[in-house]
Amino acid sequence: MDETAGYIGRKTITFFNRILNLMAFGNRILALAFKRRKTGSAVDRWGIIEQIYFTAVQALPVIIPISLIIGSMMILIFTKLAGQYDMGKMVIILIVRELGPIVTALVVILRSATAVTIEISYMNVFNEIEAIEMAGIDPVRLLGLPRLVGITSAILCLFIVFDLVAVIGGYLVIWIITYAPMGNLLEQIGKAITLSDILVGIIKALFFGFTITVVCLYEGFNAQKQITSVPQITSSAAVECFFYILMVNIVISAIFYI
């Protein structure tokens, strides 16, 4: 019994210690974002543009079909419950507030977050991070900040794309291929949506982007000096990102629903 309690206690301490380390690392990156410097701004801008292109633009062929499928399925299900619930409010709660941010974050984790973890880990293993430091350049500023801004901005953009395609595209797909009675669904959605609904999605997207980037960068910068450890680190970072965004999603939803 004592061994079990001791094991649980050690795991709890380790978990909260990791959370504090991630928060400190994230705070360091944010501090760099508000610290102006005379040189290197062009490199930062180019890094941000590249990250947004890779994370958002190249993910469109993935996010659009997924949003169409999810939106069509949800709207088709809602038509079966039209007499029991407000269809417009159901679409807002389930697609805009909940599914949109989660699915978008999951796509980013699978595509971009794993790529960032692998990239930084390999740079660390092959001593490129050390070479950057020896050149007098802060690697967190050079590599971390552009990725934080790029991934967070990309998630926000993808979230907007997902919502629009899922709602409007899903409505059109169901209207074209089925005879489901949807009535004035778009009008109901327009009346049901509020500033709070939009704000919840935006806040979730921003927090998800920040959380995913901090976890991946932290894992990459702390990679062991062994190339065989990179796959394990990448897998662990992806699972950890998904766990944290679920926790953040619950907290934000609870704040706005209560």
Model confidence pLDDT, tens digit, residues 85-121: 567 777 777 788 888 889 999 999 988 889 999 999 9
| pLDDT, greater one: 215 or 188 | 215
pTM of this structure: 0.85
What pLDDT is stored for residue 86 in this prediction?
66
What pLDDT is stored for residue 195 in this prediction?
81
What pLDDT is stored for residue 191 in this prediction?
74
The answer, yes or no, to whether residue 215 has pLDDT greater than 90, is yes
11 contact partners, CB below 8 Å, separation of at least 6: none
Which pLDDT tens digit goes with each residue over 131-185? 888 888 888 888 888 888 889 999 999 988 998 888 888 888 888 887 766 667 7
What pLDDT is stored for residue 40 in this prediction?
60
Buried b (16+ CB within 10 A) or exposed e, 117-155: bbbbbebbbeeebeebeeeeeebbbbbbbbbbbbbbbbb
What pLDDT is stored for residue 85 in this prediction?
57
The answer, yes or no, to whether residue 211 has pLDDT greater than 90, is yes
What pLDDT is stored for residue 101 in this prediction?
87
What pLDDT is stored for residue 239 in this prediction?
92
Rounded distance, CA 98 to CA 248, Å? 12
The answer, yes or no, to whether residue 186 has pLDDT greater than 80, is no
Q: Which of 6, 254, 221, 246 is nearest to 117 (CA)?
A: 221
Mean pLDDT calculated for residue range 58-69: 90
What pLDDT is stored for residue 210 in this prediction?
92
